[in-house]
Amino acid sequence: MLTYFANLSPQHRRSWGLVVAYVALLLAVSYVDFGYNTAGQTAFRGILLGMLVFMVASGLSLIFGLLDVLNFAQGAFLLIGAYVGYDVYTSLDAGTTVRFLAAIVSGVVFVGVLGAIMETGLIRPLYDRPVFQIVLTFGLAAVLLDLVERYYGPDPKQPLDPPGFLDNNFTLFDQSLSYYRLFIIFLGLTMMVGVFLLLNRTRIGIIIRAGVQDSEMVQALGINVRLIFTLVFVLGAALAALGGIALVPYQGATLEMGNQFLILAIVVIVIGGMGSYEGTAIASIVVGLTRAVAEQLSLEHFDAPVLAETSILLLMIVVLLVQPSGLFGREE
């Protein structure tokens, strides 16, 4: 960890400074404006949101970094994960904990298989027509959304009870919260660390990082890069699905949440720098916090929480104008 900071390039060091300053500013504003407790609650919500966004964004970023495909179907993966998870969670006949685990496994596996089929069958033949790859993932996202709507109906699904072992409350900042929220944060952190270890400590991770720079050269070393491509695509899809399932006991399942998180994830990778893992992780938290604080601000001052929607876009515009390659991206 210390060596990480010691080896930082000047650009990244400045970006760290910016991030810390910005987050401090956000916290200060919310403290002054909302008071201690509400500010704390808002920050907590922001971190929670950041963790969920991270699960979509990390896949988006990894896939883009290695395959050079921006997977617009990433939101649809989250959506399908959520609905399949919801389906399993409500239809099984067992204790909540068992049902919850079953929901996670089935959702992740289902979406993982879907991702594998999509990558091998549809994306792979299009590597020499990259524009069509983007168009394809975008179109597929719409098609998948349609299918989910046909199959599960247009009405939103209500949040479900969290699994038994998490169905307790604790008090934080004067607010009673379900342990399930802590679980989401824990899950997000686990994924962050897990993927970090995968990228840095395993042979596959090293191949992925090498492939991000030059996949052709990796291939010329005798490594079946296409297989790694599929693997990363599946990993990204599975992470998004996991995020979707994690959302079910928290927010329920709605048709809109796929695109909602896709947009957040897009903003995250633009801010963090496309293809940079650390950037994605940091920007997820930044975006989550921004969103939560903006929501609270627009609620208190304009009684219009939707206005928070604009905050994300403003953030994106500012970053694109000031540092188009993102905070931790490589200059192009």
Partner 1 sequence: MMSMIERTIYANTQKIKDPTLRGLAESAARLVLENWAYLLFVIVLWRFPYIVADLTDTEVQPRRPTGDSVFWQSEMARALALTCLAMSYNLLFGFSGVISFGHALFFGAGGYVTFIVLNEYDASYQQGALIVVIGITLILALFSRMNVRQLLIIALIGVLLTLLLMPGEGTLSFYQAIGLAVVASIAVSLISGVVTLRLRGIYFAMFTLALAEMFWVLAKSGTFRDITGAEDGLGFRDILPESFNPTPTFDGSRLDMYRLTVVFFVIVFIAIRRYLNSPVGRVMIAIRENEERARTIGYNTFYYKVLTMTFAGVIATLSGLLFVIWATDKRVHPEALSLKYTVDPLLNSLIGGIGTLTGPVIATLGLSLGETYLRNETFTLDTGLFGILTVWQLAVVLVVGLVWWLFRRPLQTGLRRVVDMVRRDTARAATFASGTHGHWALILGYYGLVVLLLLAVGLVIGSEIAHNLEFKGDVYNVSDLWELFLGILFVVVVMALPHGIVGTWNTFWANRRVRRLEQSAQQSAPKGNNSAS
Partner 2 sequence: MTDYILEVQNIHTFIGEFHILEGVTVQVPPGSITVLLGRNGAGKTTTLRSIIGLTPPRSGQIIFKGEVIQGRRAYHIARMGIGYVPENRIIFRDLTVAQNLQIAERQKGDLDRKADFIFTLFPDLKRLYTLPGGNLSGGQQQMLAVARALVPDNDLLLIDEPSEGLAPVIIEQMMEAIRQLSSHTTVLLVEQNFQVASRLAERYVIIEEGLSVHAGLIADLVQDRDLIKTYLGVA
Question: Could you give the CA distance from residue 201 to residue 68 in angstroms, rounded to a whole number?
Answer: 23
Query: Which entry of partner 2, partner 1, none binds 223, CB below 5 to 8 A by partner kind?
Result: partner 2
Coil, strand or helix at 272: helix
Determine if 120 is a binding residue for partner 1 (CB under 8 A).
yes
How many Å from the N-terminal Cα to the C-terminal Cα in the chain? 27
Question: Could you give the CA distance from residue 133 to residue 127 in angstroms, rounded to a whole number?
Answer: 7
Coil, strand or helix at 95: coil
HSE, side-chain direction, 13 A CA sphere, residue 319 = 27
Query: Which entry of partner 1, partner 2, none binds 6, CB below 5 to 8 A by partner kind?
Result: none
- Stretches 32-40, 128-136, 156-164, 245-253: which one binds partner 1 (CB under 8 A)? 128-136
Write the CB contacts of 190 (distance below 8 Å, at least 6 apart in sequence).
Answer: none
Query: Which entry of partner 2, partner 1, none binds 122, CB below 5 to 8 A by partner kind?
Result: partner 1
Neighbour tally for 194: CB within 10 Å: 11
Determine if 220 is a binding residue for partner 1 (CB under 8 A).
no
Which of 24, 190, 304, 330: binder of partner 1 (CB under 8 A)? 304
Determine if 283 is a binding residue for partner 1 (CB under 8 A).
no
- Stretches 3-11, 156-164, 170-178, 260-268: which one binds partner 1 (CB under 8 A)? 260-268
In 3D, which of 74, 101, 103, 84 has the Cα closest to residue 239? 74
- Stretches 9-17, 101-109, 177-185, 264-272: which one binds partner 1 (CB under 8 A)? 264-272
HSE, side-chain direction, 13 A CA sphere, residue 183 = 21
Cβ 98 vs Cβ 84: under 8 Å: no
> Which positions lie near partner 2, rule CB under 8 A?
7, 203, 206-207, 209-210, 212-214, 216-226
Give the number of residues in contact with partner 1, rule: CB under 8 A. Answer: 44
Provide the binding-site residues for partner 1, judged by CB under 8 A.
70, 72, 120-122, 125-126, 129, 131-132, 134-136, 138-140, 142-143, 145-147, 150, 259-260, 263, 266-267, 270, 274, 303-307, 309-310, 312-313, 316-317, 320-321, 324, 332
